[in-house]
Amino acid sequence: KPIYVLSGPNLNLLGVREPEIYGHQTLDDVRALCEARAKSLGREIVFRQSNHEGELVDWIQEAREKGCAIVINPAAYGHTSIAILDALKASDLPVVECHLSNPAAREDFRRHTYVSLVAAGAVTGFGAASYELAIEAAAGLAR
């Protein structure tokens, strides 16, 4: 089964958006790294990004129907979205949270994420490598 790798709002702007925080790699670069890492683990990924909360909820439900583990960088929705938390809870599948930056080292409002209530763990602060490490963790959880 593929691992769903989902990214939330504004991550389509990676590379140009606050590069001092999020780095110079684009989302396509991140996708390529994720595909390579998944391949090295003998896995496939479904890699998607949306700026819309409901679309992310739909994709989480799709992963649930297929029984696929989820890696999610919820971006700002991690801090606000009970709908995404509830969708992840309903999925009853391994969830690994990931962030490019280290939210704990930034503003106070980034310290809490709803996703962390349901995630097996989180990988934060390593830029694109956060995604690769999260995929590795998810592959280990969903054999």
Residues lying near ligand DQA in the complex (CB under 6 A) are found at: 10, 73, 75-76, 99-101, 103, 110
Which run of H or E residues covers position 97? Answer: strand 95-99
Whole-number Å distance between alpha carbons of 12 and 139: 25
CB of 141 to ligand DQA, least distance (A): 21
79 annotated to a ligand binding site: yes
Alpha helices in the chain (DSSP H): 19-22, 27-40, 53-66, 77-80, 82-91, 128-141
Structure token pair of residue 7:
């990214």
Residue nearer to ligand DQA on the CB measure, 63 or 77: 77
Among this protein's residues, is 52 annotated catalytic? no
Catalytic option among 4, 77, 99, 131: 99
Task: Report whether 52 belongs to an annotated binding site.
Answer: no
**Smaller CB separation from ligand DQA, 91 or 124:** 124
10 is in an annotated binding site: no
- Choosing from 4, 22, 77, 114, which is the catalytic residue? 22
Q: What's the CA gap between 2 and 127, in Å, rounded?
A: 23
Q: Which residue has the tokens 């990214």?
A: 7
Least separation in angstroms between residue 116's CB and ligand DQA is 12
CA–CA separation, 64 and 87 (whole Å): 9
Q: Give yes or no: 22 in active site.
A: yes
Minimum Å distance from CB 107 to ligand DQA? 8
Residue set of the binding site for substrate: 73, 79, 86, 100-101, 110
